[in-house]
Amino acid sequence: MGVYYPLQVMTLSTAKPYRYRFFFGLITHLIWLFVNPFPAFPQGNHTTDSLYTLLKESKKKASILNALAAEYLYISPLKSMQIAAEAEEAARNERNGIEEANALHNTACAYMALGKYDTTNLLLERSRRIFSRFNNMEGLLRIDNSLANLNYMQGRLDEARRMYEDNLIKARKAKLPALEVSAITNIGRINWLQGRYDTALLYYQEALKKADSINNASMQGMIHLLTGIAFQDKGYYEMAAGKMLLAKELFEKMNYLSKLAYTYNYLGSVYYELQENENALAYYRKALDSFRQNDDDWGNALTSRYLGMLFQRLRLSDSARYYFLTSLTLAHRLNDWSGELYSQRFLGEVLLESGNIDSARIFFLDNIRKSGILKNMREKVNNLYDLGLLNVQEKKYSDALGLFHEAGKLADSIGLFYENMLINKQLSETYEITGDLASSLRYYKIYKSLNDTIFSTTKRKNIDELQLRYETEKKNSEITSLKLEQEVQAARLRNQRIFVYTLTSVLIMVLATIVILWRSYKQKKESDREKEILLKEIHHRVKNNLQTISSLLSLQSYTIRDTKVRDAVRESQDRVKSMALIHQMLYQQEELSKIDFGKYLDQLVANIASVYGKQETNINCTIACQDAGIDIDTTIPLGLIANELIVNAFKYAFDGRERGNIIISLNRQPDGKMLLRVRDDGRGMPDNFHIDKTETLGLKLVSLLTRQLKGEVTCISQNGTEFLITF
């Protein structure tokens, strides 16, 4: 699933806006606010402010109004439509045919954003006739781009792709970079929709370079968001979250509310994938409110579909059915065939779970037919699988096996790894029911192999970056509440002073002194709290930066073919993560000067086990730490040492063994020194091993970091390997 609204190129004015802000039309806006029964349009951004400044100073208004309409499309399609109507009237008064055509095109784009496709078609045709009369190539290409978008949104993907590719050639020849970006991005989206994720990512990468070169914030944001969605579909949730957050920051900076709602929706979907249902629900509702406020039926349909999936997971079938029906109704109204496919399948699954087999069958069969027409092979796989499950419920095992085999063959041909795993699992279970144990075992082995591959892949589920803005807002709210409390207290004190004035002047002086001392104390306390918040924020940002470096290393590793180089990059990523974990613990705890090294080791071992743990070997880790409060200057090198030694044990100590033990301890010695002990009962080190003469980077780091701590390292290889770090 994904954002279905294609990347649009609006009609922009050639006038360059001034680079300063001003308060325009304040009185008019206030009057409108009181007399208009509908909600006020959202505010603009620095671009709209500059354009309004230019509008006040210019006699030729049509081109500036068109630029405003184009910018407001990303903020509020309704506001964009209103301004485009003003631009059309101004263009007629100025007898400017090109700007009249531009205004009609902007209005068409606003109607398209609201899902009014018939009106969009009529307006595009009127605009085309005017552009043709003036032989305006740029305008005609924009019309072709919008017509391609209409085909895309109505499920005619092959026709849309042909038009985008034709537009791309013409845009390059005419040197129109914005149209190039739009065409490249939308070709990528069609590849994504048809399951070719890697191809889609290549198109997005090319489009982003071009969008960066022309500094187009809307296109940059949309491409980041689409890239995040593709990463999410591939299971790389950490990279998906990073890309979506970039889009969110761009849209918030530019106040692009109509695009921001989609970003909320997909951030919610990342939380959904991570099983964080409450966070997912919060983001979905935030997105749904925005879509309804903007009268965006397309976004409403999309988020309703996601809400249905969430309630289906929570076993709230009535709520799930309601949202799937809402999504299906809206998709049908919008002629969104792809949206109908998804909504019908999900609704069919809910009906199947509740025992309405005949109704579910109708949806699945209709979807198989439609997905073939739309060439949406992923949906065809899903519906074949669901129809197979339905036949299993009816005990039609032969029919079910045929459907599972057809789905598996198709999934394998387009590289649907996860779906292929589920299909093989179901084939194994169905063959077991029929008594064909040999076939059941064969498909179980395939399923087990695919399942092991999935869980051995690094798919970190840490998206703490998503909490940064929430936590910042929460802290700001706490500070505001504290200030409000101070104001209330000050008001009470003033009332007391008025009363005390009727008493003696001595009492007045005493009370005044108390007030001064109290305020001084509160200010000092507030200052200390702000310093603490600032320190935590610094650690949070450092952790985020390290996490970004880790994501970049992870992304880079997918492009490296040399195994040794890829392993080296992966090891560097692990070292960065071990440092990021320290800063994460610092900002999450009250004490900022020290780290509980025992808790740190617990999390570090869990992370290492998830990456380097082997299915064939059961490794038991025991951690024992006393007096484990360590300052940050010591924790960072000590954490890197522990990381290297534990990773080394996981990777090499237990090759060929079914089980193994690792013991990690940190204790203070009688002489005041600390002793870190990492021991395993594995195969041990070679007889001639000496840590100072080792050629491996990891153990060299252990030696160098021990010297940094002004300590000593000893290696004992008896019944396994034991490293002793004294510092």
Q: Is the pLDDT of residue 553 over 80?
A: no
pLDDT in tens, 322-347: 999 999 999 888 888 888 888 999 99
Q: Is the pLDDT of residue 501 over 60?
A: no
Q: Is the pLDDT of residue 512 over 80?
A: no
Residue 464's contacts (CB-CB under 8 Å, 6 or more residues apart) are: 543, 544, 547, 584
Give, rounded to a whole angstrom, the gap between the first and last alpha carbons of the chain.
54
The answer to whether 665 and 624 have CB atoms below 8 angstroms apart is: yes
pLDDT in tens, 19-39: 222 233 333 332 223 333 333
Please give the pLDDT value at position 627. 63
Cβ burial of 68 (10 Å; 0-12, 13-18, 19+) is buried
pLDDT band at 170 (very low <50, low <70, confident <90, very high): very high
Mean local confidence (pLDDT), 436-461: 74
CA angle in degrees (0–180, nearest 5) for 564-568-573? 145
Name residue 716's beta-bridge partners: 722
- What does pTM read for this prediction? 0.47
Token pair 């071990």: residue:
578
pLDDT in tens, 599-649: 878 888 888 887 777 777 788 888 888 766 777 778 778 888 888 888 888
User: Residue 520 and residue 587: Cα distance in Å, rounded?
Assistant: 28
- Helix locations, 457-562, DSSP H: 465-500, 505-557
Q: Choose the weakest-confidence range: 397-411, 415-429, 576-590.
A: 576-590
Mean local confidence (pLDDT), 151-156: 83
Which residue would you say has higher pLDDT here, 297 or 478?
297
Q: Choose the weakest-confidence range: 187-196, 248-257, 260-269, 464-473.
A: 464-473
Q: Is the pLDDT of residue 406 over 90?
A: yes
Among 418, 348, 421, which Cα is nearest to 389's? Answer: 348
Q: Is the pLDDT of residue 115 over 50?
A: yes
Q: Is the pLDDT of residue 429 over 80?
A: yes
Q: Is the pLDDT of residue 242 over 80?
A: yes
Pairing between β-strand 618-625 and β-strand 659-668 as defined by DSSP bridges: parallel
Among 415, 419, 414, which Cα is nearest to 386's? Answer: 419
Cβ burial of 13 (10 Å; 0-12, 13-18, 19+) is buried
Q: Is the pLDDT of residue 81 over 80?
A: yes
**Cβ atoms within 10 A of the Cβ of 61, count?**
21
Residue 342: in which H helix or E strand, if any? helix 337-353
Name residue 329's beta-bridge partners: none
Q: Choose the weakest-confidence range: 347-361, 470-484, 656-670.
A: 470-484
Residues found in the chain = 727
pLDDT band at 522 (very low <50, low <70, confident <90, very high): low
Q: Is the pLDDT of residue 519 over 50?
A: yes
Q: Is the pLDDT of residue 431 over 90?
A: yes
User: Residue 433 and residue 2: Cα distance in Å, rounded?
Assistant: 37
pLDDT in tens, 191-222: 988 878 889 999 999 999 999 888 888 889 88
Mean local confidence (pLDDT), 443-462: 66
Mean pLDDT estimate for the chain: 78
Dihedral sign from CA coordinates of 351, 352, 356, 362: positive
Q: Choose the weakest-confidence range: 345-354, 359-368, 533-542.
A: 533-542
Token pair 């796989």: residue:
381
pLDDT band at 167 (very low <50, low <70, confident <90, very high): very high
Q: Choose the weakest-confidence range: 266-280, 482-496, 601-615, 639-653.
A: 482-496
Mean local confidence (pLDDT), 357-381: 89
pLDDT band at 85 (very low <50, low <70, confident <90, very high): very high
Mean local confidence (pLDDT), 286-293: 86
Helix, strand, or coil (residue 411) = helix
Which residue would you say has higher pLDDT here, 46 or 477?
46
Please give the pLDDT value at position 607. 81
pLDDT in tens, 676-690: 899 998 888 877 777
Q: Is the pLDDT of residue 101 over 90?
A: yes
User: Residue 393 and residue 6: Cα distance in Å, rounded?
Assistant: 40
C-alpha distances (whole Å) from 51 to each of 9, 83, 86, 108, 250 are 18, 12, 14, 21, 20
The answer to whether 507 and 500 have CB atoms below 8 angstroms apart is: yes
Mean local confidence (pLDDT), 117-127: 91
Please give the pLDDT value at position 378. 87
Q: Is the pLDDT of residue 314 over 80?
A: yes
pLDDT band at 715 (very low <50, low <70, confident <90, very high): confident
Which residue would you say has higher pLDDT here, 585 or 339?
339
Which residue would you say has higher pLDDT here, 418 or 364?
364
Which residue would you say has higher pLDDT here, 555 or 355?
355
Which residue would you say has higher pLDDT here, 600 or 458?
600
Among 441, 16, 628, 5, which Cα is nearest to 262's? Answer: 5
What tokens were used for 574? 């692990």
